[in-house]
Amino acid sequence: MSNLLDRSLERIYSVKRNDLFSKSIYNLFIQVLGLGLSYFVVYLITNTFNADILGYYILANVSLQLSIIVVLFGINTAVVQIVPGFYAKQQKEAINGVLIKGVLHILIVGLLVTGILYFSAGFIANHLMNKPKLAAGYRLIAFAIIPMALFTFIADFLRALGKNILWAVIVCVLVFLIFIILFLIILYTVKKPNPIAILTVANIATMAISLIVVIVYLKKEKLKFSFKYINREPSYKKIRKLSYPMFLYSSSLLLGGWITILMLGSLGTATDTGIFRVVDRVSSLSVLILTAVNAALAPKIAASFAREDFTLLKQNVMFSSKLIFWLSLPVQAALIIFHSAALFIFGHEFLKGSFALIIVLTGQIFNSLTGPCGQVLNMTNHQVFLRNVSLVSLTIMIAINYFLIPKYGITGAAISSMFGNVFINILCVIKIKKEFSFNTMYNPFKILYAK
């Protein structure tokens, strides 16, 4: 028992000495705050309106997020891999080149996507979603596409420069905080405010504030947003070549969740859509640690891989897997035990999603058990593998949704969500084992027999 205690204390001290731990904890705190704000947004909408209106709000927001993914085309993710190497070598002209190319890409493609969504809003709402009320919402959110795409790119650019805390504040807190402030102001000045209109205004306001923050930081780092760096390496073609498989991977992951919501909205009811979104939000508590650790880990993996320091890469990944397991375990256990109570907070009608929450949680728990496997492959030039796996997973999920949602509603959507998490993570763990000869899954029992 004494030896076991000594080994446990030694592991605790090693955790404290690792800066990955402190960065992950800071990110976790900010993400918990952001998640709390997102829950409050849902609470405001459901208590001001109902689950049906929440469903329409969610469908509009999902369409906005899908549009942003198309506009970005993986550029924001590619930046997280490219920039850390330049930053470590103080190649600021190359960093400036990446910045200007990314912004120009977003402005040009963003205009095209904005126009398409605005003018096809009626067709999408009436014929694809079977919800005519959504047409006005789609036209409104079209104006938020470019601001939010720029916002996402700039936030990830800061993360690539090692500013994880600033990134977390901007991405996890700022959007929801501005939305809440605007919602409360309008709530007391306008009877029955339009949540989709508030979403659009909030997104544009968020972009404006974050842009000011970034400009101040760029000046501090002596980085410049200038057209004179447009011809600097890496070329736009090289960035796009790297971003394309990242775009397909990240979009497939997000599409897996959003397609489920969209298909639930199309094949089911707006009320079911609102309930399932709450289920998804509650279940996301179980992977907060994974998200926080991944945010701090990604630049470290990219830098280690660029220097070909595979020993450090393995150490950081294995440490992260351990951290994710032990910090996630209490949250996951609590959600399983108190799943009905967690849903009841949002209203009695949300208890309909209790069984679906258990199913989704199963997939999320498996996600945290496998460690940061997707992040490892994404930052080590295995984007093509991730692209292929995620596209296969997305195809199967669409089929599962098509057959199960009409018959089982929210439960069918939950089964699809669980499958997506399990399928992708199993294949990622196998790929890492083959390429790097280590397993990202943490074994909690080895502490009992470690020497």
* Chain segment 232-265, per-residue pLDDT in tens: 777 777 777 766 666 666 666 666 666 777 788 7
State the pLDDT at residue 9.
37
* C-alpha distances out from residue 139 to 151, 182, 284, 378, 388, Å: 20, 20, 29, 34, 33
> Which range, 159-173, 287-301, 365-379, is most confident?
365-379
Is the model's pLDDT at 279 over the cut of 60? yes
Q: How confident is the model at residue 6 (pLDDT cuts 50, 70, 90)?
A: very low
- Pull the structure tokens for residue 231: 């011809």
Does position 22 have pLDDT exceeding 70, yes or no?
A: no
Give the pLDDT confidence of 327-386 residue by residue, as tens digits: 888 888 888 888 888 888 777 888 888 888 899 888 888 888 888 887 788 778 787 787
Contacts of 409 (CB under 8 A, 6+ apart): 264, 268, 272
CB atoms within 10 A of CB 280: 22
> pLDDT exceeding 70 applies to what percent of the chain?
80
**More confident: 170 or 279:** 279
Tens digit of pLDDT for each residue in 93-145?
Answer: 777 788 888 888 899 999 999 999 999 988 888 887 777 877 877 888 888 88
Inter-residue contact 287 to 375 (CB < 8 Å):
no
CA distances from 30 to 38, 174, 319 (A): 12, 11, 21
Handedness of CA 186, 276, 441, 329 (dihedral sign): positive
For residue 438, the Cα-to-chain-centroid distance in whole angstroms is 26
Greatest Cα pair distance, the chain, in angstroms, is 70
Provide the whole-model pTM. Answer: 0.63
